[in-house]
Structure 1
Amino acid sequence: MTTTTGTPSGAVAARADVDAVPRLPGLARLAWSRTVFEVRGFFRERDAVVFVFAYPVLMLAIFATVFGAEDELLAGTGVHFPQYFLPGMVATGVMLSSFQNLATSIASERDDGTLKRLHATPLPATAYFLGKTGQVLITALVQTALLLAVASLVFDVPMPTDPGRWWTFAWVFVLGTAAGAVCGVAFSSVPRTGRSASAVVVPVVLVLQFVSGVFFQFDQLPSWMQQVASVFPLKWLAQGMRSVFLPDEMAAIEPSASWQHGATVAVLAAWLVVGLVVGVRTFRWRRRDDG
Structure 2
Amino acid sequence: MTMAWRAGWSRGMIELRQSFTNAADLFNHFFWPVVMLVTLFFMRGSTFGQTGLGLATLAMPSILGMNAAMAMTMMSQHLTADREDGTLLRAKATPDGMTGYLVGKIISVSLGLVADLTLLLVPGLLLVPGLRIGDLASWLTLAWVLALGLVATLPLGAVLGSVFASVRSQGLLTLPVLGLIAISGIFYPITALPQWLQWIAQTFPMYWLGLGMRSALLPADAVAIEVGQSWRHLETIAVLGTWAVIGLLLAPVVLRRMARRESGSRVAERREKALQRIG
Provide the TM-score with structure 1 as the length reference. Answer: 0.82
Q: Does 1:290 align with 2:266?
A: yes
Instruction: Flag structure 1 segments of 5+ consecutive residues without an equivalent.
Output: 1-23
- Give me the whole-angstrom Cα distance separating, in 1, the residues matched to 2:200 and 2:26: 31
1:28-58 deviations in Å (ceiling 9; x for gaps): 4222212112213433554344334431441
SS at match of 2:20: helix
What is the Cα deviation at residue 221 of structure 1? 1.4
Higher helix share: 2
Aligned to 2:54: 80
Q: Which residue of 2 aligns with 1:111?
A: 84
1:92: which partner in 2? 66
Checking the alignment, whether the CA contact within 8 Å between 2:125 and 2:131 is kept in structure 1 is yes
Query: C-alpha offsets along residues 140-190 of structure 1, whole Å, 9 cap, x if unaligned?
Result: 111111111121223345342111111110000111122111110011122
1:25/1:267 Cα in 2 relative to 1: closer, same or farther (>3 Å)?
A: closer
CA distance change for structure 1 residues 189 and 124 in 2, over 3 Å: closer, same or farther?
A: closer
Using the alignment, how far apart are the partners of 2:262 and 2:176 within structure 1?
22
Q: 1:228 aligns with which of 168, 193, 200?
A: 200
Q: Give me the whole-angstrom Cα distance separating, in 2, the residues matched to 1:129 and 1:109.
A: 11
Conservation of the 8 A alpha-carbon contact between 2:84 and 2:167: yes
Partner of 1:126: 99
How far apart, in 2, do the equivalents of 1:60 and 1:210 lie?
A: 18
- Of residues 249, 262, 272, the one that matches 1:277 is 249
1:180-210 CA-to-partner distances (Å, cap 9, x unmatched) read: 111100111222223222x122223212111
Partner of 2:32: 55
Q: Give the distance between the partners of 1:36 and 1:119, measured in 2 at CA.
A: 20
Counterpart CA distance in 1 for 2:251 and 2:26 is 25
Amino acid at match of 1:171: W
- Which whole-Å CA distance do the structure 2 matches of 1:206 and 1:49 have between them? 23
Aligned mates of 2:57, 2:193 — CA distance in 1: 19
Q: What aligned pairs does 1:180-259 form with structure 2 within 5 A after superposition?
A: 180-197=153-170, 199-259=171-231
User: Is 1:146 the equivalent of 2:119?
Assistant: yes
Please, what is the CA RMSD of the aligned residues?
2.3
The range that moved more, 154-163 or 218-227, is 154-163
Q: Is the 8 A contact 1:182 1:276 kept in 2?
A: yes
Q: Which residue of 2 aligns with 1:33?
A: 10
Amino acid at match of 1:93: N
- State the shift of 1:287 in Å: 5.0
User: 3-state DSSP class of the match of 1:227?
Assistant: helix
The one-letter code sitting in structure 2 at the alignment partner of 1:114 is T
Moved over 6 A (4+): none
User: Is contact 1:109-1:194 (8 Å) kept?
Assistant: no
Structure 2 runs not aligned, ≥5 long = 268-279
Shift of 1:236: 0.3
Q: Distance in 1 between matches of 2:49 and 2:134?
A: 22
Identity %: 31
Is the 8 Å Cα contact of residues 108 and 193 (structure 1) preserved in structure 2?
yes
Change in CA separation of 1:47 and 1:215 when aligned onto 2, cut-off 3 Å = farther
Task: Kindly tell me the number of residue pairs found equivalent between the two proteins.
Answer: 263
Kept in 2, the 8 Å contact 1:240–1:264? The answer is yes
Correspondence for 2:75: 102
**Superposition deviation, residue 258 in structure 1:** 0.2
Structure 1 residue 63: Cα displacement? 4.3
Q: Deviations over 1:99-157 (max 9, x none)?
A: 11111111111112111111102244222211111112211111111111121223345
* Equivalent residues of 2:72, 2:153 under 8 A apart: yes
1:267 aligns with 2:242: no
TM superposition shift of 1:25: 6.6
Does structure 2 retain, via aligned residues, the 8 Å contact 1:52–1:93? no
Distance (Å, rounded) in 2 between the aligned partners of 1:191 and 1:61: 33
